[in-house]
Structure 1
Amino acid sequence: MRTLSRLRNLNPLRILSNRPRYQRVPNGSPFDFQRYQWPATGKERWRLSLPRMSTVKFIAFAIVSIVVLAILGGGVHHQVTKRRPKTVEENGLPFYWMHYWRLDGYYNGVRTLVSPAQYESENGYNMSEPHTHLEDPEVKLAPEPPLDPVRYDPYPDWESAEYLEQHEEVHKCYLDAEETVEAPDIYAYPGLPQHMSQPMYGSYKELGLEENVCFERFGRLGPYGYGYNESVGGLGIGNLSERAGSEKVFQQSGHIDYSNVDWGSAQKRCFEKNKARFAEEQPNGKKRTERHAYVLRTWTGYDYQPHQLLSLRAMINELSLKSGGEYDVHFLVHVKNNSIPIWASPRIYQETLQKHVPREFWNISTLWSEKQMEMYYPEPFPDNFANMAGSNLHGVYRSAHFPLQWFSQQYPEYDFVWNWEMDLRYTGHYWEFNTRIGEWAQKQPRKGIWERSKRFWIPEQHGDYDNFTKFVEQETREVDIAANDVQRSGPVPLWGPYQDFPNRGMLAPLNETIPPTSYEEDNYEWGVGEHADLVVFNPLFDPAMTNWVFSWDVTGYNRSVPIPPRRAAIITVARLSKRLLNTMHEETWRMRHTMFPEMWPPSVCMHHGLKAVYAPHPVYFDRDWDVETMNRVFNYPKEIWDSLFGWGEHNLLGSSFYYKSGFSGALWRRWLGQWENGEGGKKQEEAGSGRMCLRGSLHHPVKRENGPVG
């Protein structure tokens, strides 16, 4: 009845409205490989390709598909044809999620700020039309924000007696050697734009993140050189955008001259002042503080645009200098020209680095090349099941983890390595985000951790995380009883190391990863307080249950027996422990085992019983999804080709975080004050409610951020 009611209430005027049409995508049939590109100018563009595949890869994929279809029989084609949604030409809306209301509360600006007590979410979860804009002509918005920006400080009180009782002293760090320029603070508004949208899955509260403040571009980026001229050390960007009330940020932060900052030297000085915190032996029973390497994977020829520099400075300042050296930010620079002998000549190494990396980052950069990885992990690597990428095993596309493993071996002082990508952006505070996620992962029990981590947690549907945990446990037991005769790539549930499968040799699991009790006897106790070896930002799914194109890119295991069980998480962004990286390294050089980058760390964790978890960070959508439908589509695809991690990925085009999301970059550029798809920009912000102010949210991918201000 509920579905019929929604169909009766479906408003065809939504389709004919003047709302921008950046949401439109083509036919989603498995046999129609037209892929949509998020338009940059409001005009739809089309191209012929598979996701992340060249023409050669497409041909290989087509051949494999024909073989699979021949095995399955001709009936599959008729079923797929019958299920195929109508095309754009047939009804203009090929996917059901396009019928949902567009959420526009993101674009309510700083002039609509209200206190947390007054805030009302825009989301109606497709039960009613969202209340998006403050369009009442009787409501007169003030010319400036009704609230003032405040210093945002998520760090512990380093000087408190409570902190010093359990930890070594934290010494203040500076940008310069003379200690005259303090590491800057950032600024947030203590409220939210009225009717700003809620995330569809993930949670601020569960992860310990602040959800009742928002960040606009001047408070977030102004302390790093945004909004003031190069003559006083800024980058000269942002000056022409809407900026009502921004002077209140600069009255507190001032203008910092970044023209001579050396971030590598600043990080080194900070660590030296605080190295007692990280010593293995701590006096008087105090707690040791772990060290993190925050590794940004970049390459020669990368174009470091001004907005990118702001984000990089924010990472270093907030993660390293403001935390007393808990993190070090590193650039891991891929030298694409294999003929350059960077390992043979210090002079050539330095010349290559200085040519391709901005001066302020020279001393945090490490060069590597694919040729170097060929020597570090030499052939042979036999028995690949399927190289769908059609590229060299040592190439960065198939083995991005090789240089990361190598890096960890060169820098064993780091307990954790964060694998970060250059097209990630975060609107909130980096230290708060990364540290709170690590703390949350440490608290997670191992019981049911794989089963929880393969699902999207949708709070509006599942309730709080405790309720979600109970639900998954109940569902797991039901599946375990009902599916005894179903072949699976691993047992239900996963519990400890999983090595009960035919293979050509594996390293033995570590003693500490052997469960102390049976699954049934454990009362969600094992693993609590244990650091996670792997933290990922999308679910840990079973590739065997999807049509993910790289599912069979598995190397070094005996092909005369079934392919090993495995897990994967889309996007290689993750936190990896030294224990995990050491195991990956040993499996690679000693056993000649490896897999596609998004599959290798999760599968090593699965095989060796290491602690892996998907962190449910908040993810936003451009549409007001019905949560029951979202749960069904995201967590319970009927067929493998319906999975989001394959042909069903169109469902994530409108999300703020996925490898091919279009909404993520569009929302980020709007937040920067840029004109996007006929909307935003200076004129619209000044005539409307001002510049955007968002909660902390992770955006991926952001491929460009130099759009017009309009």
Structure 2
Amino acid sequence: MSGLRNLNPLRLFATGNRGRFSYERVPNGSPFDFQKYQWPAAARRISATRVLSLAIAGMVVLALLGGGGYRRVQQYREAPVAEEHNVGFYWGEYYQLNGFYNGIRTLVSPANYVAQNGYNITVPQVMDASKSNLPKEPAFDPIKYDPYPFRDASYLRDHEQVHQCYLDEGEKVAAPDVYAYPAIPQLLPQPFYGGYKELGMKDDVCWERFGRLSAYGYGYGPAEGGLGLGNESERAGSEKVTDKVGRVDYRDMDWGAAQRRCHEKNKRRFATDQPSGKTRVPRHAYVLRTWTGYHYSDQQMLALRAMINELSLKSGGQYDVHFLVHVKDSQLPIWASDELYQKTLQDNVPKEFWNISTLWSERLMEMYYPEPFPDNFANMAGASVHGVYRSAHFALQWFSQQRPEYDFYWNWEMDIRYTGHYWDFNEKIGDWGRRQPRKGMWERSRRFWIPGYHGDYANFTAFVESETRDKDVAANDIERSGPMPVWGPVQNFPHTGMLPPPLAALPPHSYDEDDYQWGVGEEADLLVFNPLFDPSLTNWVFSWDVTGYSRSLPIPPRRAAIITVARLSKRLLDTMHEETWRMKHTMFPEMWPPAVCLHHGLKALYVPHPVYFDRDWNVETMDRNFNYPKNIWESPFGWGEHNLLGSSFYYNSGFSGALWRRWMGQSEGGEGGARWEEEGSGRMCLRPVLHHPIKHEAGSVA
């Protein structure tokens, strides 16, 4: 069994002359090309003919695999699909959920709300969204969404006062507010895994695009300092927001100057020595990874302005937003010439973000973390260890050393969107992480929490604890890379040298003696947004991209989380930096921070944020396939990743981008757009949803 678990056939192709290996080329468990799949709103089932085609396709893929041809599998996957838009996955049999598209004319109070989910046990309800059956205006008025506790007496008793921040130096334009509806569209589906209440977030409000984005230039034109988006949109009731927000003129905006002024006004909150014994507020760097040649669409500009306003200015300088700009031309000596540096910056970043941008290049990383980096187990990317594809974390480590004043660094991607409020999301998940005990954290974090199957998070915790102690389960996990349960630093594996773990990470007592108390109140060193899985139990293609550990010894234990989006502590980044430059250790970006936490006993957690699916999954089947794949080939973190195509958050999701574009008022697959909304139930209103990936935002509003 151990031989099978350690088998990774893709290692056979780990040669440097095959070009860049990308996720898009990894087999999905089907010969069909998922990029051709469409995400329509209408509820449908696929035919028996398609089920038969799945069976035939499966046999063909097995035959191709048996023939030893990864390249031949790829050729088959790229062949034309016989029936357009048909994808033969078993979940294609589930009803599609169309309640996402019920608009603001269907708003109901939380007490009267009914979710559309039938969980493949009952047929999902469908609403008649014809305009004649619905009110012309929403039944509720939008309200200002203000999650900040800074005026509360309880907050001021323990913290320094927060002084208001402005967009302009003359303090004429206050940081604007955003608006949400205190209601839910009837039949809006529930998320399948993760949840709002566990994180302390509100699930009784929804966001539509005017309330969410008018503060940032949506709904008015460039002549007034806006972006022009939304002028042709369905806009019933939108004046209740736009009249309050007004028209913020962004034509001469300088976010760097605004952030500095805000921090200066509020710097006493962050001082190490607090007056009157008040509590110091930690500072955060919210780092957006971008690159030269990146196109900043108008929709992107709205999202970026929302991040800076809500995280930094409205929070009294608690966050600073930074652009970490990858200069793709490594031959440019940006470190040698201020003039060249400024020209490169100004040619590639919109002016309003110039003063929050930092340039870096792979050549700079080569000088900062010089060769050699010996003993790589398998370079599936076929790229340099300093290449951004394999070591995007090098730049973040470097940035944390150049800007050491922050307690936490958020590693954020440009293709993420969020329909909710940024500060509310960031703070609530940070609070959640602080409340979590260390006992069972690795075991809980490797699983998807599915409330419809597991119940609440406390019940899920008890279930994982019972499973951890089950001798039969433990026997099946005997080949895991590391002990079960994990308790403190994992360094008891053969190695040629590692940095010692911090004393604070050593358990104060045994696992059995702990009553879920150790770690409560401790800040998390790593917060990720997909499970922290053990790559040795999957056929994830980058599982063996481990460098600097002797190949004469077994590959070290490790963990990974798909998508590099995360919150990392300064302590974690300092440890990663030291392990990299001093010990020459590194791994693939999605594996390196979790593995460092595992080895050094740092607090790492998977945040169970709400994730939606376009299909009405049976939750028992979801638990079995997501949490208990029969073998490594079926893991969702490998060839079973097709299970997440219809989710709102995964690297290869197709549904996520389609849902975002529809929410923005665009037509998608022949559905949506202004006329669709005007003749139906109005524009969409979603609960807070973290969308990834948004690969494009171009579409029609007609």
Q: Per-residue CA shift, 1:187-208, capped at 9, x if unaligned?
A: 0011011110100000000001
Deviation track 1:651-697 (CA, whole Å, cap 9, x = no partner) reads: 00000000000000000000000000111011110000000000011
**Cα deviation digits, residues 511-537 of structure 1 (max 9, x gap):** 000000000000000000000000000
Deviation at 1:180, TM superposition (A): 0.4
- Is the CA contact 2:102–2:129 (under 8 Å) kept in the aligned structure 1? no
- Aligned in 2, Cα 1:707/1:604: closer, same or farther, shift over 3 Å? same
Residue-by-residue CA offset, 1:275-313 (whole Å, 9 max, x unaligned): 000011112221100000000000000000101000000
Identity of aligned residues (%): 68
* Separation (CA, whole Å) in 1 of partners of 2:671 and 2:84: 28
Indicate yes or no: 2:302 matched with 1:310.
Answer: yes
- Structure 1 segment 130-529 matched on structure 2, within 5 A: 130-135=124-129, 140-156=133-149, 158-479=150-471, 482-483=474-475, 486-529=478-521
Aligned pairs (5 A) from 1:538-687: 538-687=530-679
Q: How many Å separate the matches in 2 of 1:185 and 1:526?
A: 39
Contact kept in structure 1, 2:564 and 2:589, CA below 8 Å: yes
Q: Supply the AA of the counterpart residue of 2:323.
A: F
Offset from partner CA, 1:159-180 (integer Å, 9 cap, x none)? 3332211001110000000000
- Deviation, 1:153, is 0.5
Conserved 8 A contact 1:27-1:34 = no
What is the identity, as a one-letter code, of the residue corresponding to 1:528?
Answer: V
Q: Hey, what does 2:46 align to over in structure 1?
A: none
| Number of corresponding residues | 646
Deviation at 1:94, TM superposition (A): 2.2
Q: Secondary structure at the match of 1:37?
A: helix
Aligned equivalent of 1:37, options 35, 38, 42 = 35
Structure-2 change in CA distance of 1:175 and 1:299 (3 Å): same
> What is the aligned counterpart of 1:108 among 102, 110, 114?
102
Which residue type is aligned with residue 559 of structure 1? R
Question: Are residues 708 and 479 of structure 1, via their aligned partners in 2, closer, same or farther at CA, if it must alter by over 3 Å?
Answer: farther
Give the Å deviation of 1:479. Answer: 4.2
- Residue 95 of structure 1 corresponds to which residue in structure 2? 89
SS at match of 1:330: strand
2:112 partner SS: coil
1: distance between equivalents of 2:220 and 2:69? 60
| Normalised TM-score (structure 1) | 0.88
Distance 1:348 1:66, change over 3 A: farther
CA displacement, residues 71-108 of structure 1 (integer Å, 9 cap, x when unaligned): xxxxxxxxxxxxxxxx9779966222111110000000
2:323 match: secondary structure:
strand
Corresponding letter in the other structure for 2:575: T
Of 101, 111, 121, 1:117 maps to 111
C-alpha contact (below 8 Å) 1:26/1:88 kept by paired residues: no
Is the 8 Å Cα contact of residues 452 and 469 (structure 1) preserved in structure 2? yes
Report the TM-score, using the length of structure 2 for normalisation.
Answer: 0.89
The runs of 5 or more residues in structure 2 that have no matched partner are 1-23, 41-61, 71-80
For 2:94 and 2:188, locate their aligned partners in 1 and report how far apart those are by CA, in whole Å.
17
String of CA shifts for 1:120-159, please: whole Å, max 9, x gaps: 111111111111323589x721111111111111110x23
Q: Over residues 543-583 of structure 1, what are the superposed CA-to-partner deviations in whole Å (9 max), with x where a residue is unaligned?
A: 00000000000000000111001000000000000000000
Partner of 2:523: 531
Deviates more, 1:142-151 or 1:524-533: 142-151
Q: Aligned partners of 1:459, 1:119: CA distance in 2, in Å?
A: 18
What SS does the aligned partner of 2:266 have? helix
Indicate yes or no: 2:102 matched with 1:126.
Answer: no
CA–CA distance in structure 1, aligned partners of residues 280 and 190 of structure 2:
37
Asked whether the equivalents of residues 495 and 519 of structure 1 are also in contact (C-alpha less than 8 Å), the reply is yes
Which whole-Å CA distance do the structure 2 matches of 1:28 and 1:700 have between them?
Answer: 20
1:221 partner SS: helix
Distance 2:240 2:84 in 1: 54
Aligned to 2:17: none
- Structure 1 unmatched runs, 5+: 1-24, 43-61, 71-86
Query: In the TM superposition, what is the alpha-carbon distance from 1:649 to its structure 2 partner?
Result: 0.5
Shift of 1:237: 1.0
Q: Deviations over 1:564-621 (max 9, x none)?
A: 0100000000000000000000000000000000000000000000000000000000
Separation (CA, whole Å) in 1 of partners of 2:304 and 2:85: 45
Q: Is the 8 A contact 1:278 1:289 kept in 2?
A: yes
Partner of 1:419, secondary structure, is: strand
Tell me, yes or no, if the aligned pair for 1:445 and 1:524 is still in contact at 8 Å. Answer: yes
CA contact (8 A) 1:167 1:287 kept: yes
Tell me: CA distance 1:574–1:26, structure 2 relative to 1, closer, same or farther (3 Å). Answer: closer
- What is the letter of the counterpart of residue 110 of structure 1? I
Cα deviation, residue 392, structure 1:
0.8
SS of residue paired to 2:389: coil
Distance 1:251 1:484, change over 3 A: closer
Separation in 2, partners of 1:313, 1:344:
31
User: What secondary structure does 1:397 align onto?
Assistant: helix
Q: CA deviation at 1:251?
A: 1.2
What is the DSSP-based 3-state SS (H/G/I as helix, E as strand, rest coil) of the residue aligned with 1:117? helix
Which whole-Å CA distance do the structure 2 matches of 1:302 and 1:446 have between them?
40
Deviations, residues 400-433 of structure 1 (Å, cap 9, x unaligned): 0000000000111000000000000000000000
Partner in structure 2 of residue 4 of structure 1: none
| 1:119 alignment partner AA | Y
How far apart, in 1, do the equivalents of 2:620 and 2:476 lie? Answer: 28
Deviation at 1:229, TM superposition (A): 1.2
Alpha-carbon contact 2:579-2:586 (below 8 Å) kept: yes
The one-letter code matched in structure 1 to 2:656 is: S
Separation in structure 1 between the aligned mates of residue 396 and residue 596 of structure 2, nearest angstrom: 15
* CA apart distance, 1:34: 4.7
| Amino acid aligned to 2:175 | A
Residues 240 and 66 (structure 1), Cα distance of their counterparts in 2 relative to 1, 3 Å cut: same
Change (3 A) 1:93 1:170: closer
Q: Would the alpha carbon gap of residues 290 and 389 (structure 1) be closer, same or farther in structure 2, given more than 3 Å must change?
A: same
Quick one: which amino acid aligns to residue 510 of structure 1? P
